[in-house]
């Protein structure tokens, strides 16, 4: 049945749309038009979006769906369920599964499970190196042909420069990005939080900012010489933001993402060893957080990505040193991003860019309210006020420090291919 989303504020930065419009979806689930006021015959479903924002479907470049191998944390189905609840119509999933996504059989399994879930679109990233070991390149060409949209050893850094260089040169032949978890492991060692006054007070070993800065600089240099596409994941330091800004100025083909937890929290939020604030890279200083926000605002960073990292309680409810890194983020990303808009740090348009066209461009993914394209749409209530509680969470895991936080803004409907896959 034909559908009209009526009376919402439609924002599509790419098509330069920002105003009250009607969005028309045809019988095949494709976008038929965006018009000031559309007719509504009897056989049309009308969705009243008055007072809401109607956005192109959000895209997350960085999630861990955990399947295969860690289904007690998340499955592709539960991860996709969390994605659409957070307004994401498409997600890119990392390769650190078990087995690692360094073989086409794993890529095909991920895609098959995503089709079975029939919720968000799932785009796999293949591993850069076999087994994420950082030694021998994976079969990138085969992984690309099987459906991988990029490559990453996320969770680990490709430490050997010659291996990283070869990966960039190889990926250039397909013109796909290498996404990097940029931490010099020789500098970071086994440290468990940001190196600073708070780590000293807690008596915990700290990860120096230089560990990230150095590796971002190395990879930008390698990408420049290779003429390859580099994507820097979860940027957390002021130095890394500055390096990426300079690299772009030199014409390096680098894109980068910031996460909601790095632009919302700082190392002092760890408090007294609260493992729900343990991340990799760690929560940084207030100065670093400010730099990430500035990078998002001025275009140095191209996307907001969640680094959604589900864990069962067993590996979080333990000593800080032994706790797993990471938090879930799909269902809190949009309201936390909206906080930056409410604070005047991002314009509405820039916020939408960072969650839609920015990530799409980084990985050449379809996006936007384009006539004839599949109708992937997020409808967002920017004024809804609520307390984020555990019973709202659709992810299989609950590891988030944001339970109990007052939120403003919530997704009220998510549409993928013209079909409503989530309503609140």
Instruction: Report, as residue numbers or ranges, the catalytic residues.
Output: 307
**β-strand 406-416 against 377-387: which pairing, if any?**
antiparallel
**β-strand 254-258 against 230-232: which pairing, if any?**
parallel
Q: Confirm if 336 and 264 have CB atoms less than 8 A apart.
A: yes
CA 80 – CA 75 distance, rounded (Å): 8
Q: How is residue 38 written in tokens? A: 């559309």
- DSSP string for 188-250: HTT--EESSHHHHHHT--EE-HHHHHHHHHHHHHHHHHHT--EEE-S---HHHHHHHHHHHHT
- CA dist 406 to 232, 332, 335, 402, 410, Å? 31, 11, 10, 9, 12
The single-letter DSSP state of residue 195 is S
Q: How is residue 408 written in tokens? A: 């403003």
Main-chain phi, psi angles of 238, to 5 degrees: -60, -40
- CA dist 89 to 81, 338, 361, 367, Å? 10, 18, 16, 10
């Amino acid at each position: 049945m034909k559908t009209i989303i009526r009376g919402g504020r439609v924002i599509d930065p790419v098509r330069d749309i920002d105003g009250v419009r009607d969005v028309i979806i045809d019988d095949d689930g494709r976008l038929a038009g965006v018009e000031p006021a559309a007719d509504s015959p009897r056989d049309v479903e009308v969705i009243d979006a008055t007072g809401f924002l109607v956005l192109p479907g959000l895209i997350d470049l960085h999630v861990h769906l955990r399947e295969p191998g860690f289904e007690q944390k998340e499955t592709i189905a539960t991860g996709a369920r969390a994605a659409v609840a957070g307004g994401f119509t498409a997600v890119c999933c990392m390769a650190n599964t078990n087995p690692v996504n360094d073989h086409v059989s794993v890529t095909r399994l991920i895609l098959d499970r995503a089709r079975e879930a029939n919720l968000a679109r799932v785009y796999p990233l293949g591993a850069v190196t076999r087994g994420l070991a950082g030694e021998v390149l994976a079969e990138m060409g085969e992984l690309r042909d099987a459906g991988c949209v990029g490559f990453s050893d996320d969770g680990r850094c490709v430490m050997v420069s010659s291996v990283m260089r070869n990966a960039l040169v190889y990926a250039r032949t397909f013109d796909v990005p290498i996404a990097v978890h940029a931490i010099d492991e020789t500098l970071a060692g086994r440290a468990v939080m940001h190196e600073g006054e708070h780590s000293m007070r807690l008596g915990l070993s700290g990860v120096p900012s230089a560990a990230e800065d150095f590796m971002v600089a190395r990879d930008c240099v390698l990408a420049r010489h290779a003429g390859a596409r580099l994507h820097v994941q979860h940027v957390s330091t002021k130095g890394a933001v500055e390096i990426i800004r300079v690299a772009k100025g030199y014409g390096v083909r680098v894109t980068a993402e910031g996460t909601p937890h790095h632009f919302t929290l700082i190392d002092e939020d760890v408090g007294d060893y609260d493992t729900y604030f343990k991340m990799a890279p760690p929560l940084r200083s207030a100065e670093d957080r400010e730099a990430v926000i500035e990078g998002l605002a001025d275009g140095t960073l191209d996307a907001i990505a969640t680094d959604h990292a589900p864990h069962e309680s067993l590996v979080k409810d333990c000593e800080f040193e032994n706790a797993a890194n990471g938090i879930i983020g799909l269902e809190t990303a949009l309201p936390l991003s909206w906080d930056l808009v409410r604070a005047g740090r991002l314009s509405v348009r820039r916020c939408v860019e960072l969650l839609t066209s920015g990530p799409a461009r980084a990985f050449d993914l379809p996006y936007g309210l384009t006539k004839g394209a599949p109708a992937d749409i997020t409808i967002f209530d920017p004024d809804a006020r609520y307390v984020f509680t555990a019973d709202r969470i659709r992810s299989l895991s609950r590891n988030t420090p944001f339970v109990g936080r007052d939120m403003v803004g919530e997704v009220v409907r998510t549409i993928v291919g013209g079909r409503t896959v989530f309503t609140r």
